[in-house]
Chain A
Amino acid sequence: MRKALLCLGLMMLALVLPAHALEIEDRKLFAGAQATATLRVISTGDVELFAPLIEAFIASNPSVAVEYTTVGSSDLMQAVLDGSERFDVALSSAMDLQTKLVNDGFARTHRSPQTAALPPWARWRDQLFAFTQEPAAIILSKSAFEGAGLPRTRRELIEIVRADPDRFSGRIGTYDIRSSGLGFLFATQEARSADIFWRFSEVMGNLDVQLYCCSSQMINDVANGTLAVAYNVLGSYAAGRQEASAYTILYPEDFTLVMQRTALIPADALQPEIAGRFVDALVARRGAGELNSTDTEDRWFSDIQPGYRRIPVGPGLLVYLDKLKRRNFLDEWTSAVVKP
């Protein structure tokens, strides 16, 4: 029976695959011996990040197999929007795109004791649920800052890199916000929070900033000494590394943005009931430790220190998705950062 279903699923997959241009980075099937139904999860997070959680989920739900698909945040949104390939749960770090999906009616309402226990800023319309708190950090190469002293705020960082352009020129990296959804989210929220964002962008532009698509590559380059500074990187990605001794993770004291990874159940989900259980399992963790750790300590609230600024879920996030607003912002950013 299970094999028959699986075959059917694969056949259907084969049928729909050519119809769209979903750029899949990775796809993995987690299935126990008794699995009879498949939950299709689409996510922007690496599969390694979610593997422990998914395995725990199928351990307590042995009849469920989980197919985990990793895509970019824009692709994720597109996949939910056009619905040519139907997913049951969408997990994304792009809070604004998730909000847009919910606002435009592409998500399904899910209420449970677990979601009801979420604080209001972690839940929107009972359709979007935040399940992590991930602060944006600045990764500083220890060797590059030798003798200069480690900065604690953006202002100090600007002063240090300005004072020694030779040392830092071409060695500052950040997201290319034109292609990275998360980079765009951090940039817009930072611009909204403080004027120093534009000053720092000017400085980075003058120092031949390197633009990246993803956190991991930036961290790699800091670790191997190519970069001295990686700006706006998910701190959690950098903390778990083996080469973590090569760099310092700075959560700026002036303010640190905190991204909340969110989950939604697409309106056309085929397994909404299992999807609901999966979301419950996600939010029940309430951000306990890193996603892939076994640390169950509840750090949901204690992680938010003074100076940490949580990006709230809600319609405010729609503003920077406005095409004129976005164009304005990207124009301004490009003129500051990307020197002709």
Chain B
Amino acid sequence: MIPVRRLLGSIRARILLQLFLGAAVLSLIVFLVFRDYARDLAAQSQDNILAASVTSILDATSIRNGRLNVDIPYSAFSMLGNVSEDRVFYAIRGNDVFLTGYENLSFERVEPGEAAQFLTSTFDGAEVRIALAARSFSLDGEPIVVEAIVAQTREGLQSTLNGISRTVALFGVGFFVLVAALGFVTTQTSLRPLRTLAGSVSRRGPSDLRPVQGIVPGEMTPLVQALNGFILRLKASLSRSEDLIAEAAHRVRTPLATVRAQAEMVLLRVEKPQTRKDLREMIQAIDESSRAAGQLLDHAMVTFRAEHLQDELVDFGKLIPETVNRLQPTADLRDIEINLTQCGSDLLGRGDAILVQSAVLNILDNAIKYAPRESTIEVAVSKKENDALAEVRVLDEGGGFPIDAEAKLLADRFVRGSNTDGVIGSGLGLTIASEVAKAHGGSLVLENIDGGGACAKLYFALD
């Protein structure tokens, strides 16, 4: 596999990183906003109660019997106790003179009549929130300004705020986890079609040039279209070159036949031994070329027919004996006997009879070529794999395949065994047989027999 340069890293990692960062920032913002909001709200409620307390004290202040009467209502402080267990301090002044409460609790004077004012300060070593308000009274015709100050420590507020902060922080973390999980799932889901597509393309066989089908998201349609366009062009280019090869083989075969005929005629006429020997070598070379051209044509035919496989009934029980019969004359030339055994009936499959015949012909042809003279070739047709496959087994008494490892390679195009010197061959025969078997849902298996001889087994799917 050619390594792909990763310019930008993984899309998933990038999306995840962005989502996580976004979620973190968002969570932080949520935390800060909520916390500040809650803080303001809590502080506001303390201020409201302090203001109510100050107001109730001023409301209960009056001039009675020519005297200023300050009568703090019980509720002025008990209402503060209802909210928290904070300490309460207060002071009341008349015309800047301390009247009652905590004398040290002294602040700048507020103007009477205004709404309560608030400030935060420290008193007796604790942080306090203070409400101040003033009201003016008239005593013997003289104005008297009464100032009420109520302070409350903020421990309760602080603990409330800590509680709120904890809750909000927990909420923020939860929010982050949720968004992150969602982001993770989304990324996985959105990238799945891409992985599926890559998987389906990489799982394809070498000759599978069908367009990519399957449903993909809109964003991936251009990619799939481009891929399909590319496959189409590749296919066209491949078929063009195969056409070219077939055409070339066809065109070469006729002149070769002419040259061979001429050479034979010349052979009849000449008597010089050296020349006769040269001519024979020439004829053999011409035979080899001619055979190669024929096999190339055969292969082109097989490739074409396998791609456009016909769906007709193939009766292996009839087809194989016919094929054996066709090669009988060739075998007779070398005094080779072909023994055909057939087990089981109803050897019916679907496909292209011409292709099946071509495959069996190639195997048998090989066997005849490589078997010694006056030997026997065993051909057996039988059912295998619970009647799912038809097996055509061809056994010869030749030298066998060089080694088992090589036997696997032999089905590749133009690969010939290392022990084929002196025998005419192109290396396409086994390829053709293998491709036909595959097109018919089967395979070609090559083995050596202990004690000499080769065994080629062709499998075809049965109905």
Interface residue? A166 (CB, 8 A):
no
Stretch at the interface among A42-50, A74-82, A315-323: A315-323
Is B73 part of the contact surface with A, judged by Cβ < 8 Å?
Answer: yes
Say whether B74 contacts A316, CB under 8 Å: yes
**A-binding segment of B80-88, B187-195, B364-372:** B80-88
CA distance A59 to B74 in the complex (A): 44
Q: Which residues of A contact B80 (CB under 8 A)?
A: 315
CA distance A124 to B71 in the complex (A): 25
Q: Which of B71, B85, B124 contacts A104 (CB 8 A)?
A: B124
Q: Which residues of B contact A192 (CB under 8 A)?
A: 74
Contacts of B124 in A (CB 8 A): 104-105
For B77, the chain A residues whose CB sits under 8 A away are 314-316, 318-319
Q: Is B410 an interface residue (CB 8 A)?
A: no
Q: Is A2 an interface residue (CB 8 A)?
A: no
Q: Shortest CB–CB separation between residue B69 and chain A, in angstroms? A: 7
List chain A residues, Cβ under 8 A from B75: 316
Cβ of B72 under 8 Å from chain A: yes
Selected from A104, A316, A320, the residue in CB contact (under 8 A) with B81 is A316
CA distance A33 to B69 in the complex (A): 59
Which of B88, B100, B101, B125 sits near A315, CB closer than 8 Å?
B88
A124 to B86, CA, bound (A): 9
Chain A CB within 10 A, most for which of B78, B85, B89 = B85
- Whether B101 pairs with A105 at a CB distance below 8 angstroms is no
Say if the beta carbon of B433 comes within 8 Å of chain A. no
| A-contact bits for B110-138, CB 8 A (1 contact / 0 none) | 00000000000000111000000000000
Q: In this assembly, does A206 line the interface, its C-beta being within 8 Å of a C-beta of chain B?
A: no
Contacts A105-B87, A125-B85 given; indicate if A315 touches B78 (C-beta within 8 A). yes
Interchain CB contact under 8 A, A328 and B73: no
Residues of B in contact (CB 8 Å), total 25
Question: How far, in whole Å, are A67 and B462 apart by their CA atoms in the complex?
Answer: 110
Q: Judge whether A152 is part of the interface by a CB distance below 8 angstroms.
A: no
Q: Which of A102, A126, A325 contacts B72 (CB 8 A)?
A: A325
CB distance from A169 to the nearest CB of B (A): 31
Q: Is B458 an interface residue (CB 8 A)?
A: no
User: Complex formed: what's the CA distance from A125 to B99 in Å?
Assistant: 28
- CB nearest to B82 among chain A residues: A314
Question: Is the CB–CB distance between A319 and B74 below 8 Å?
Answer: yes
Contact flags A300-340 to B (C-beta < 8 A → 1, else 0): 00000000000010111011101111001000000000000
Q: Tell me, in angstroms, the Cα distance from A117 to B101 when the chains sit together.
A: 34
CB contacts (< 8 Å) of A126 on chain B: these are: 85
Known A125-B85, A315-B81, A322-B101; judge A105-B72 contact (CB<8 A). no
A residues less than 8 Å from B71 (CB atoms): 324-325, 328
Determine the distance from Cα of A82 to Cα of B88 in the docked complex, in whole angstroms: 21
Known contacts A319-B73, A322-B101, A324-B71; is-contact A124 B78 (Cβ 8 Å): no
With CB as the reference atom, state the residue of chain B lying closest to A126: B85
Q: Determine whether A180 belongs to the interface, using a CB cutoff of 8 Å to chain B.
A: no
A323 touches B100 (CB 8 A): yes
The distance in angstroms between the C-alpha atoms of A282 and B55, with both chains bound, is 40
Closest to B61 in A: A324
Q: Which partner residue on chain B sits nearest A313 by CB separation?
A: B81
Interface contact B88-A324, CB-CB below 8 Å: no
Q: Does A103 have its Cβ within 8 Å of any Cβ on chain B?
A: yes
Per the bound structure, the CA–CA distance linking A125 and B76 in Å amounts to: 19
- Which residues on the B side are within 8 Å of A314 (C-beta)? 77-78, 81-82, 85
Distance (Å) between the CB of B360 and the closest chain A CB? 95
User: Of all chain A residues, which has the CB nearest B60?
Assistant: A325
B70 an interface residue at 8 Å Cβ cutoff? Answer: yes
Measured CB to CB, the closest approach of chain B to A307, in angstroms, equals 20
Partner of A103, one of B78, B88, B100: B88
Does the CB pair B99–A324 fall under 8 Å?
A: yes
* Bound Cα distance from A316 to B100, whole angstroms: 16
Q: Which residue in chain B gives the minimum CB-CB distance to A314?
A: B81
Per the 8 Å Cβ criterion, residues 66-125 of A in contact with B are 102-105, 124-125
Question: How far is B71's CA from A322's CA once the two chains are assembled, in angstroms?
Answer: 9
Shortest Cβ distance from A16 into chain B, in angstroms?
26
Chain A residues in 8 Å Cβ range of B74 = 192, 316, 319-320
Which chain B residue lies CB-closest to A102? B87
CA distance A124 to B76 in the complex (A): 18
B92 proximity list for chain A (CB < 8 A):
324
B residues near A (Cβ < 8 Å) are 69-78, 80-82, 85-89, 92, 99-101, 124-126
List 8 additional A-B contacts (Cβ < 8 Å) besides A324-B99, A328-B71.
A104-B87, A192-B74, A312-B78, A314-B78, A314-B81, A315-B80, A322-B72, A325-B100
**Which A residues form the contact surface with B (CB < 8 A)?**
102-105, 124-126, 192, 312, 314-316, 318-320, 322-325, 328
A sample of 29 inter-chain contacts (CB < 8 A) reads: A103-B87, A103-B88, A104-B87, A104-B124, A105-B125, A125-B86, A125-B87, A126-B85, A312-B81, A314-B77, A315-B77, A315-B80, A315-B88, A316-B74, A316-B77, A316-B78, A318-B77, A318-B88, A319-B73, A319-B77, A319-B78, A320-B74, A322-B72, A322-B101, A324-B70, A324-B99, A325-B70, A328-B69, A328-B71
8 cross-chain pairs, A with B, having the tightest CB-CB distances, nearest first: A316-B78, A314-B81, A315-B88, A315-B77, A315-B81, A324-B100, A125-B85, A324-B70
